[in-house]
Amino acid sequence: MSIKANAKVQDAAYTSFYHDAFVRLKKDKVAVACLVFIVLLILVAIFAPLIAPYEEGYQDTSAILEGPSSKHWLGTDEFGRDILTRIIYGSRISLSVGLIAEAIAVTIGVFLGALAGYYGGKIDAVISRIIEVFASFPHILFAIVIMFVLGTGVINVFLAIGFVGWTGIARIIRAQVMQLKEKEFVEAARASGGSDLKIILRHLIPNCLSTIIVVVTMAIPSDIMYEASLSFLGLGVQPPVSSWGEMISMARKYLRTNPTYSVFPGIALVLTVLAFNLLGDALRDALDPKLKNL
């Protein structure tokens, strides 16, 4: 068999790997439930204006800090805004954080990790040190400092969280690439005249895809929590945009009189984080059990 054919066989085996994984996943009822929940959440976020009973910033001045009622199913906040509405719109922020912050983290992390793993030697040494430097700052504190450099606002939150989280992915990709580059199909690709960049982009990274998927899914809950924490500290979204973390923070003042104000956004947060955690677990079991020790 020609060398090129060898490479093709590798690719063929690779597709059925995903198929197998998907079958395994379908069997896990919990994972399916989580997936359904997440898909529903995404739909809620996209169609929020259609689903929410009120407009996002609408203040019903006659109903300040009320508990659940027929007009406001989950009650109102200190401005008379409907809590259910704000939780629905809040999903947009939480999901966006997961999406965009991870996109940033993955871009930086995969790029640097792959370079370090593939080239090794001096480049690896330098990049590894850079990774260690950035990894030694506690995430939250680093994000806070970045927020102060950039200023508040949703976009900056995404940037800050993404920029803080890339080190984890970088390390894992580096390790994976180091392992993969010894494999035959890489030799084959090199022999058939592929440039380094092509090899990295076309062969190595796609083979890390399963790892990336798992890592991303497991990192999203942390990102959502970071955003909630930043908003809790007052550094996140600006009014009238709503975020679950910000709601919990504002609700602290009214804990005695309106405990439900903080409970409902908290539940939303817990459920979302839970769903991503469990899905991540299931994905990892299905795609790459070697990552168990993460």
Partner 1 sequence: MKRLMALLLALGLMLGLTPALAEGKAFSFGGALDDMDLIDVHKATSSGVLQGGIMVCEPLLALQPDGSLAPQLLAEMPAVSEDGKVFTCKLREDVYFHDGTQLTSKDVYFTLHRIFDPATANVNAWLCDMILGGKDMLDGKATELAGVTIQDDFNFTIELEYPYAPFNYILSCPQMLIYPQDACTAAGETWGIDSFVGTGPFVFESFTAKDTLHLVANEKYYEGRPQIDEVYLYNLDRGTALMEFEAGSLDLVNMDPTYVKGYQEGEFATNLVMSDLRGIIALNLNVAMPPLDKVKVREAVAHAIDQKAIVESYLQGNGTVANSLITPSVAGYTDRPSFYDPEKAKALLAEAGFPDGIKLVNYVSETSSIAGIPVVLQEQLKASNIELEVNRVDSATYVSLRKEGSVQCPLLTWYADMPDPDNFTYTFFQSGNSKFFSSNWNDPLTDELMAKGRAMPAGEERIEIYKQIDQRLVAEEFVTVPLYNPVTYYLKSDKVEGIFFDGSMFHLDDASIVE
Partner 2 sequence: MLKFTLRRLYQTVIVLLGVTLVTFIMVNVVPGDPVAVMLQKKADDATINRIREQMGLNDPLPAQYFRFLTNAVTGDFGNSYFQKKPVMELILRAFSVTGTLAVLVLAFAIILGVLMGTLAAVFRGKWVDRVIMMISTLGMAAPSFWLAIILQLIFGLTLKWLPISGLRQPNAYIMPSVALGMIYAASLARLTRTNILDAMNQDYIRTARSKGVGEFFVVAKHAFKNAGIPILTYLGTLIKSILGGSVLVETIFSINGLGRLLVEAIMKRDIPIIQGCTVYIASVFVIANLLIDLTYGLFDPRIRVAGPAKR
Among residues 182, 256, 289, 293, which is the contact residue for partner 1, using CB under 8 A? Answer: 256
Q: Which does 67 bind (CB under 5 to 8 A by kind): partner 2, partner 1, none?
A: none
Token reading at 29: 């009822």
Helices and strands (H, E) in the chain, number of each type: 13, 0
Q: Where does this chain touch partner 1 (CB under 8 A) — which range of 4-12, 46-54, 73-81, 112-120?
A: 73-81
Does residue 271 belong to the site contacting partner 1 (CB under 8 A)? no
Say which residues have a Cβ less than 8 Å from residue 7's Cβ, sequence separation at least 6: 185, 188, 189, 192
Minimum CB distance to partner 2 smaller for 7 or for 170: 170
Residues 192 and 141: their CA atoms lie apart, in Å, by 48
Minimum CB distance to partner 1 smaller for 4 or for 252: 252
Token reading at 38: 């997440």
Nearest CA among 34, 8, 53, 37 for reference residue 189: 8
Minimum CB distance to partner 1 smaller for 147 or for 208: 147
Q: 162-183 burial, b if ≥16 CB within 10 A, otherwise e? A: bbbbbbbbbbbbbebbeebbee
Residue numbers of the site for partner 2 (CB under 8 A)? Answer: 129-130, 132-142, 144-146, 148-149, 151, 171-172, 175, 221, 225, 228-229, 232-233, 245, 248-249, 252, 255-256, 259, 262, 266, 269-271, 273-274, 277-278, 292-293
Min separation Cβ 235 and partner 2, Å: 9
Write out the binding residues for partner 1, residues 199-238 only, by CB under 8 A: 234-235, 238
Min separation Cβ 134 and partner 1, Å: 24
Does residue 148 belong to the site contacting partner 1 (CB under 8 A)? yes
Q: What is the DSSP letter of 99?
A: I
Q: Where does this chain touch partner 1 (CB under 8 A) — which range of 40-48, 61-69, 87-95, 125-133?
A: 61-69
Token reading at 17: 């790997």
Write out the binding residues for partner 1, residues 149-178 only, by CB under 8 A: 151-153
Burial of 243 (0-12, 13-18, 19+ CB in 10 A): buried
Burial of 91 (0-12, 13-18, 19+ CB in 10 A): buried
Binding residues (CB under 8 A) for partner 1: these are 57-59, 61-62, 64-65, 78-80, 148, 151-153, 234-235, 238-240, 252-257
